[in-house]
Structure 1
Amino acid sequence: MRSSLTSKRWQEVERLRAERNIVANKMKGKLEPSIRQALVEEGKSLKEGLVALEEDLVQLTDKLQQEAQCIPNSMHPDVPIGGEESSVVRKTIGSPKEFNFEVKDHLRLGKELDLFDFDAAAEVSGSKFYYLKNEAVLLEMALINWAIADVSKRGFTPLITPEIVRSSVVEKCGFQPRGQNTQVYSIEDSDQCLIGTAEIPVGGIHMDSILPESSLPLKYVAYSHCFRTEAGAAGTATRGLYRVHQFSKVEMFVFCRPEDSNMYHEELISIEEDLFSSLGLHFKVLDMASGDLGAPAYRKFDVEAWMPGLGRYGEISSASNCTDYQSRRLGIRYRPSVMDLSTTKAKKGKGSSSAPMQFVHTLNATACAVPRMIVCLLENFQQEDGSVIIPEPLRPYMGGLQLISPKHM
């Protein structure tokens, strides 16, 4: 009903614009004063009517957008149906490390190695904030630089994104900034939010654009801080660095042709597997069930790594194919070349100007969510003497440091 009403308003706006142009054309050249005055009055009346209709159209479009955001993306036919427990393991890489001593969790390790301070952060900022200290600072910087360097070598353009975006962009990416249990921090008395992932500003970088087909795929690897309310999160499973309000993350993002998105989804999860394997982590890759997809995702693969101190697997990454769910809302299109089937070459005069435009597909995947990676590294590479070994790929980014050792007073 509202869609039909919006269409009618749009037609009325277009009709008035056409009439206004006719009046403007009639006023060109010499005219009798009385005729010119009549046209001026008519033009004024059309303008006033057009302003009212355009305001009405904007309001209707906004309401239609809000209703459309309640409708999730369609699903890949292979997505398992059900809640999170119905997710299917696609692959298991490595095996859990064996320890011949009492295993410590990252909270105890962090305290003994003087790596972070939750108590001071709670006083300064509130619960679920933290200070990183000493080698943990170097470790965060190393993880960020290692992830960006590795992914950049694979053809991804590095970005550092804005961390405040318009609420409308958050909504168009499929997130709910104003919902009751929202994970989004909104800025009071403004139309802006803090980002929960670089997916949002990277998704918006080509908003309202028509991309040349020759530029696709566009691949980005973006660094940002992320902010999440973590509404409803509580319990021992969320202690320490596992679930926090602010963290650093390196995110991959792809804009591509619709027929290529499944291929790039596999590429993204393959990159994640390479990254985490190179650090020596044990993890499993899950094809997430329908109840855990979220509104934008057509299909989502999660990576859950073994965290021996916590005694469980924990999510460290995901890779989602959002098809055209985000691009339709963000207005990101491309115009395919028209191909001559007999020669498989673009026809002369029938290039980008004549082919119908299509919406691109968007995909996102986490290269490195820093706090959870720190949890994995501390717990998996702890030694009996209380030290922690730095995985070899990170050492060049830590000035050659190989070991985090206890501080003896």
Structure 2
Amino acid sequence: MIDLRLLRENPDVVRDSLTARRRDPSAVDAVLEADARWREATTAFESARAEQKSFGKKVAAAQGEEKQALLAQVKQLSQDVKRLEAQTAEDAAARDAALRAIPNIAEGAPAGLEEDFETRETVGETPAFEFEVKDHLEVAEGLRAIDMQRGAKVSGARFYFLRGVGAELELALTNAAIAKATANGFTLMITPTLVLPETMDGTGFLGEHADEVYHLDKGDDLYLVGTSEVALAGYHRDEVIDVSEGPVRYVGYSSCYRREAGSYGKDTRGIIRVHQFNKVEMFSYCSVEESYAEHERLLGYEKEMMALIDVPYRIIDTAAGDLGTSAARKFDCEAWMPSQDTYRELTSTSNCTQFQARRLNIRERTAEGLRPVATLNGTLATTRFIAAILENHQLPDGSVVVPEGLRPFLGGREVFEPVDR
């Protein structure tokens, strides 16, 4: 969550961020009003408690009827203290709930909704095919690489099997991404895919995005993660970590699950929007001052992966209204999809500043004392990469050229050939 002190001292900064996100800025007033009630209740509680303590000496010095009268007052005062203490706790909970409903402060992101992004960079020329382009699923079916029909038979709509070269390609992407991350100081982690509510909530996924999350509620109160970011953020919950020597970096590999609520009719063909996929995710803890440079570094690693698969892409600065709850700023790498004549997101990297760490109580020690660290995340490879590779590297006979950067991870193979059976 955001810093309460910031909201108290600079409420207009928070209002401006909410306006940029296309949210109601009156949420700031709700927090301030709840905070005022808490302050008033706290003052009354502390005053009553001080008076209660002062009665001790009076009672000890009193005799007879005076003592009995004082004891009656002490009893009433004790009840008042308990009532005011409960009221203070109730007001604090109401204020904190209102504060948790406010997303991170958008920093530098373009104001507006999803379509109001800004393009930072465009890399590569969109290919001019001299034959009728197939979409990735049609190409994959010729290679016997993806089986959507049997995926639906086994698990329902938007599930699939990766088979043959489809499975090999995913493992090659995974290994290439892991090799890149570990060469740059990331510790490899294979993470849990089921997490506790406090972990999911701490990363900011149980607010407005709760309808995207699968929840096991039949006696297990656990959530299926949509990214290993969740588990990696919770890894150091309630800890003080040392980032004085630079960022603490992890790269997580996991299966991911998303309900894709509200996306019916949008990219539902093939493996662009599915309920289960695999992903290699970078995660970094650092000081908030370092986080801005670290954000650019994570984007740089993503650009290297995009170069490795050799597809045209653009980098967008995501509009504030399209940011997730925790992100202060987010950059996406969007690959060109020839069959759709448009770009589609392959990777994203977000600087969450101190938002997640404040909720998860992850701190660093500084000369001024303890304070929340910053957290950042970024995708290095995911199942969706396969779609971009198949579409951009297809040949007229249905075969697919293997991107040169992936060949070392595929035994040197240069072409995927169509399969007759």
Same fold (TM over 0.5): yes
Instruction: Verify the 8 A CA contact 1:90 1:287 in the aligned structure 2.
Output: yes
Instruction: Verify the 8 A CA contact 1:93 1:277 in the aligned structure 2.
Output: no
Which residue does 1:335 correspond to in 2?
365
Q: 2: distance between equivalents of 1:307 and 1:402?
A: 21
**Helix, strand or coil at the partner of 1:237:** coil
Q: 1: distance between equivalents of 2:418 and 2:287?
A: 52
Change (3 A) 1:313 1:329: same
The answer on 1:143 being equivalent to 2:156 is no
**Helix, strand or coil at the partner of 1:103:** coil
The 10-residue stretch of structure 1 (392-401 or 274-283) with the greater mean CA deviation from structure 2: 392-401
CA offsets per residue over residues 348-386 of structure 1, 9 Å max, x none?
Answer: xxxxxxx4111111111111122x100000001111111
Change (3 A) 1:118 1:173: same
The answer on 1:397 being equivalent to 2:409 is yes
Give the deviation of 1:155 after TM superposition: 1.1
Unpaired runs of 5+ in structure 2? 1-32, 53-77
Aligned partner of 1:373: which letter? F
Which residue does 1:357 correspond to in 2?
370
CA offsets per residue over residues 330-356 of structure 1, 9 Å max, x none?
Answer: 0011112x4xxxxxxxxxxxxxxxx41
Q: 2: distance between equivalents of 1:175 and 1:5?
A: 29
Displaced runs of 4 or more, over 3 A: 1-13, 59-67, 213-216
CA offsets per residue over residues 109-168 of structure 1, 9 Å max, x none?
Answer: 111211111111112111010011111011111111110111110111111111000112
Give the deviation of 1:237 after TM superposition: 2.7
**Helix, strand or coil at the partner of 1:241:** coil
Instruction: Verify the 8 A CA contact 2:143 2:416 in the aligned structure 1.
Output: yes
The answer on 1:214 being equivalent to 2:244 is yes
Unpaired runs of 5+ in structure 1? 20-45, 339-354
Instruction: Verify the 8 A CA contact 1:181 1:232 in the aligned structure 2.
Output: no
Q: 2: distance between equivalents of 1:374 and 1:266?
A: 25
Change (3 A) 1:379 1:153: same
Instruction: Verify the 8 A CA contact 2:199 2:230 in the aligned structure 1.
Output: yes
Give the deviation of 1:311 after TM superposition: 2.4
Q: 2: distance between equivalents of 1:65 and 1:125?
A: 40
Change (3 A) 1:11 1:244: farther
Give the deviation of 1:180 after TM superposition: 8.3
Give the deviation of 1:273 after TM superposition: 1.0
Q: 2: distance between equivalents of 1:121 and 1:4?
A: 55
Give the deviation of 1:313 after TM superposition: 0.8
Instruction: List aligned pairs for 1:9-408, cutoff 5 A.
Output: 65-76=96-107, 78-176=108-206, 182-188=211-217, 189-214=219-244, 216-235=246-265, 237-336=267-366, 338=367, 355-370=368-383, 372-408=384-420
Give the deviation of 1:238 after TM superposition: 3.0
Aligned partner of 1:264: which letter? E
When the two chains are superposed, the root-mean-square deviation of aligned CA atoms in Å is: 3.0
Structure 2 length-normalised TM: 0.78
Give the deviation of 1:400 after TM superposition: 2.4
Q: 1: distance between equivalents of 2:38 and 2:370?
A: 22
CA offsets per residue over residues 200-239 of structure 1, 9 Å max, x none?
Answer: 1101111111112435410111111110000011225332
Instruction: Verify the 8 A CA contact 1:387 1:403 in the aligned structure 2.
Output: yes
Structure 1 length-normalised TM: 0.80
